[in-house]
Amino acid sequence: GENVEQHPSTLSVQEGDSAVIKCTYSDSASNYFPWYKQELGKRPQLIIDIRSNVGEKKDQRIAVTLNKTAKHFSLHITETQPEDSAVYFCAASNFGNEKLTFGTGTRLTIIP
């Protein structure tokens, strides 16, 4: 089955700086890669996603890049703000409607 690794497990950045979280996946058949933000006790919230036919996608301060050959994808958050502090999970699935395999999570702390 699919295996998704995520690094780093914790990340602290100064407010205004950029944060990068990286994930690798094992199943070359995976073609949908969402990123989620989860606050304590809440459901995961989709912040951006990318399909395998696209190399990069951007939405305001958030961007995701995908390297299919290397089987890795990354989340980039620019101009970080205190409200970006949360746990972030990457995930991978096949055909988009199949089960998601989650990464281990990154606790992001923005230092004011």
Partner 1 sequence: GAVVSQHPSWVICKSGTSVKIECRSLDFQATTMFWYRQFPKQSLMLMATSNEGSKATYEQGVEKDKFLINHASLTLSTLTVTSAHPEDSSFYICSAPGTVSYEQYFGPGTRLTVT
**Residue ranges that bind partner 1, judged by CB under 8 A:** 32, 34, 41-44, 46, 49, 51, 89, 93, 96-97, 99-105
Burial class (CB within 10 angstroms; exposed 0-12, middle 13-18, buried 19+) of 98: middle
Q: Which residue, 14 or 45, has its beta carbon nearer to partner 1?
A: 45
Burial class (CB within 10 angstroms; exposed 0-12, middle 13-18, buried 19+) of 71: middle
DSSP structure string for 36-56: EEE-TTS--EEEEEEETT-SE
In terms of Cα–Cα distance, which of 21, 19, 18 is closest to 9? 21
CB of 44 to partner 1, least distance (A): 6
CB of 98 to partner 1, least distance (A): 8
CB of 4 to partner 1, least distance (A): 9
Q: Which residue, 12 or 18, has its beta carbon nearer to partner 1?
A: 12
CB of 24 to partner 1, least distance (A): 15
Q: Which residue, 78 or 87, has its beta carbon nearer to partner 1?
A: 87
